[in-house]
Amino acid sequence: MVTGASSGIGTAIARALAAHGVPLVLTARRTERLEALAAELRARVEVQAVTADLADPGAVAALVEGIETRGVRVRMLVNNAGYGVPGRFDAVDWTRHAAFLQVMVTAVCELTWRLLPSIRAFPDGRILNVASFAGLMPGSRGQTLYGAAKAFMIRFSESLAQENADRDLRVTALCPGFTRSEFHDVTGTRAMMDRLPAWAWLDADAVARAGLDALEQGRVIAIPGWRYRLLHGLTRHLSDQRRLALMARNASKIRRSD
């Protein structure tokens, strides 16, 4: 199962899995985009497309009940659905923050919890949580909850990996940096992001391959791109004060804080 499959990294992961003959359950909010992807991939594998808005607190239970009714057993879960809410924390309506947390934290946990018995029943169960490099870095102003939600996903993945170490159930948190997709168009920050240097951008297909390779290799944390791995290695040895100062100085280049 791949959530948020209608665009970006989710689409790339779905295509990569289909190329290896893996049957798919794809879910996303946008029915037309989802059905178009499903039609494309059905030439290779069996695909079920289920429209679901994970901001709805009842969506996960309905999604799982629906596939179980059809006799579908999930071996691999890809928690990919996500987005950002730009601007200052107190300048955004709480209803938007609540919906964000529902999608990015609660739905991830509930879907994993509901599908874990099925995944554990397979000798090669897999969980890929699409986190972000932002979850490995200090917080910054603008999109206040995004890095925090991704940091949660990373720690959640680490705990799941340890709890299921007695089986060949592998869990990976994929932590890409800036990836070319619709993400920044949706958040309204495309013009700002286009000022970043070319080296900062990753390709969605390459990110998908890196995540799936790390999952099969049993690596819990996957950081695509050697530049991001180098940046992570360098900054992790700085003091918290210096790391926060660096983020404060550079946040205005990549975050709306109005």
Look at residue 257 in the predicted model and tell me its pLDDT: 54
Side-chain half-sphere exposure of 103, counting CA atoms within 13 A: 24
pLDDT at 191 over 70: no
pLDDT tens-digit readout, 9-35: 999 999 999 999 999 999 999 999 999
Q: Of residues 146, 152, 183, 228, which has the active-site annotation?
A: 146
Is the alpha carbon torsion for 11, 17, 18, 23 positive or negative?
A: negative
**Average pLDDT score over the chain:** 91
- Reference 57, options 110, 116, 96, 1; nearest CA is 110
Full domain range(s) for residue 88: 2-254
- The type of residue at 27 is T
Considering its fold, how many domains does the chain have in total? 1
Look at residue 241 in the predicted model and tell me its pLDDT: 84
Q: DSSP assignment, residue 120? A: H
List CB contacts of 71: < 8 A, sequence separation 6 or more: none
Active site residue 146: yes
Look at residue 139 in the predicted model and tell me its pLDDT: 86
pLDDT tens-digit readout, 125-169: 999 999 999 999 998 888 899 999 999 999 999 999 999 998 889
Give the three-class secondary structure for 25: strand
Burial label for 74, CB within 10 Å (0-12, 13-18, 19+), is buried
Q: Please state, in angstroms and rounded to a whole number, the distance separating the CA atoms of residues 132 and 89.
A: 20
DSSP state letters, 206-258: HHHHHHHHHHHHT-SEE--SHHHHHHHHHHTTS-HHHHHHHHHHHHHHH----
Is 23 in contact with 47 (CB distance < 8 Å)?
yes
- Comparing 59-68, 152-161, 246-255, the range with the smallest average pLDDT is 246-255
**Residue showing tokens 């690596």:** 219
Q: Please report, for the domain that includes residue 186, its CATH number.
A: 3.40.50.720
* pTM for this model (two decimals): 0.90
pLDDT at 190 over 70: no
Return the number of other C-beta atoms located less than 10 Å from residue 253's C-beta. 10
pLDDT tens-digit readout, 69-124: 999 999 999 999 999 999 999 999 999 999 999 999 999 999 999 999 999 999 99
Percentage of the chain lying above the pLDDT 90 cut:
79
What are the structure tokens assigned to 258, written together? 């109005």
Q: Please state, in angstroms and rounded to a whole number, the distance separating the CA atoms of residues 231 and 188.
A: 26
